[in-house]
Amino acid sequence: MDIIKRDFKKGMVMVRVTDAEDLWYLSHLIDSGDLLSGVTTRKIKIGSGENAKVVKKTMRLTIATESLELVESVLRVNGKIKEGPEDVPRDSYHALEIELGTECTIQKEKWLEFQKKKLEEAAEQKRNYLICVFDREEAWFAVTKKQGYGILLQLKGEAEKKRTKVEIKQDFYVEIIKVLHEYAQRYQPESVVVASPAFYKDDLYKKMPAELKRKVVLAICSDVSERAFEEVMRRPELNEVLKGSRAREDSLLMEELLREINKNNLAVYGWTETGKTIDAGAVRILLLTDNCIKQARKERNYELLDSWMQQVESQPGKIRILSSEQDAGRILDGLGGIAALLRYSLEW
């Protein structure tokens, strides 16, 4: 996402969508009541009586957001028109469609701290990685995103609902290499991580063309399933290769949090304990999920959460917002949606 202009004092941000993942971010940034402006088309009636005709006109409209829907590669935002050409009735409904290449302006009464962070995260340079975990009978493919990773394909067995499966009858390694090559061309990843139990990865690597080998890094995994991607992203042999992956950083932070909780040492979780450590100035990294933030806003206690985030930053500390749709975020949601890694332990 490109941030074309921002003025938080006036509550205005203008952005350009440069990646399909930006639509996910915008769906979490645009709230009911926000003013959204963009170029759109609308049917306009010209003339009256028998000579009247309806034409489509391109225009710039501003709507007061009431609802939004993210469908595939389009974010559809619906609301009442507040600004536009004179021949467009005010307070009539219109849906602005945001897609790749769209420029739009979001106007809020106030941008909250977590929204500013989400905006900055969306504007970070995207570095994606292609990952394949496999053995002799099964292969899974995924591509990392700014938030976690997305499953691309599973090679094995018969077709299954909501999961792309392909039955392979020829040389399985040849088919894996073919898919890796296609995805490498499509997603242009920084690196291609190929992981397997035992020696399978080495056998596969020997059959790869030189062009693909240049991007491939080998790793070990103990399992071949959707769960294996989390394990692979934490592998020590990938420290340097995946250093630009936010998904890996989130996974490692959650691993560190659970380790410190088990040691009963430099970590706390839940609202009460986390709040105490923030007030004591002991927080090194504050971890939150987007579900936690959503719930706080719903229960009208977001002001407390917002003040905690500002306190942590002033101490200074870091804030990490995890997606509840990814494994690291789901684990954190199970701990109350909020936790902290500490600079030093506290005795209560």
CATH number at residue 83: 2.30.30.870
CATH of the domain at 290: 3.30.1330.30
d(CA 316, CA 45): 58
CATH of the domain at 167: 3.30.420.60
Is residue 226, in this structure, part of any structural domain at all? yes
142 and 252 in a single domain? The answer is: no
Give the residue from 58, 93, 123 where a domain finishes. Answer: 123
12 and 117 in a single domain? The answer is: yes
In which domain, by residue range, is 266 found? 248-342
201 and 226 in a single domain? The answer is: yes
| Cβ–Cβ < 8 Å for 322, 281 | no
90 and 154 in a single domain? The answer is: no
Global pTM reads 0.70
Give the residue from 244, 274, 299 where a domain finishes. Answer: 244
144 and 198 in a single domain? The answer is: yes
20 and 111 in a single domain? The answer is: yes
Is residue 163, in this structure, part of any structural domain at all? yes
Is residue 6, in this structure, part of any structural domain at all? yes
pLDDT tens for the chain, 348 residues: list them: 999 999 999 999 999 998 888 898 899 899 999 999 999 999 887 777 677 787 888 999 999 999 999 887 899 999 999 999 988 899 999 999 999 999 999 999 999 888 998 898 888 877 789 999 999 889 999 998 877 788 999 997 343 444 455 544 458 899 999 999 999 999 999 899 999 998 999 999 999 999 999 999 999 999 999 889 988 988 888 888 887 788 888 889 999 999 999 988 899 999 999 999 999 999 999 999 989 988 888 888 888 998 998 899 888 899 998 888 888 899 999 999 999 999 998 865
Give the residue from 65, 97, 123 where a domain finishes. Answer: 123
Q: Give the pair of three-digit tokens for residue 20.
A: 């399909």
User: In the prediction, which pLDDT does 164 show?
Assistant: 52
- From the list 262, 304, 260, 267, the residue with the least C-alpha distance to 284 is 267
- From the list 244, 122, 123, the residue with the least C-alpha distance to 193 is 244
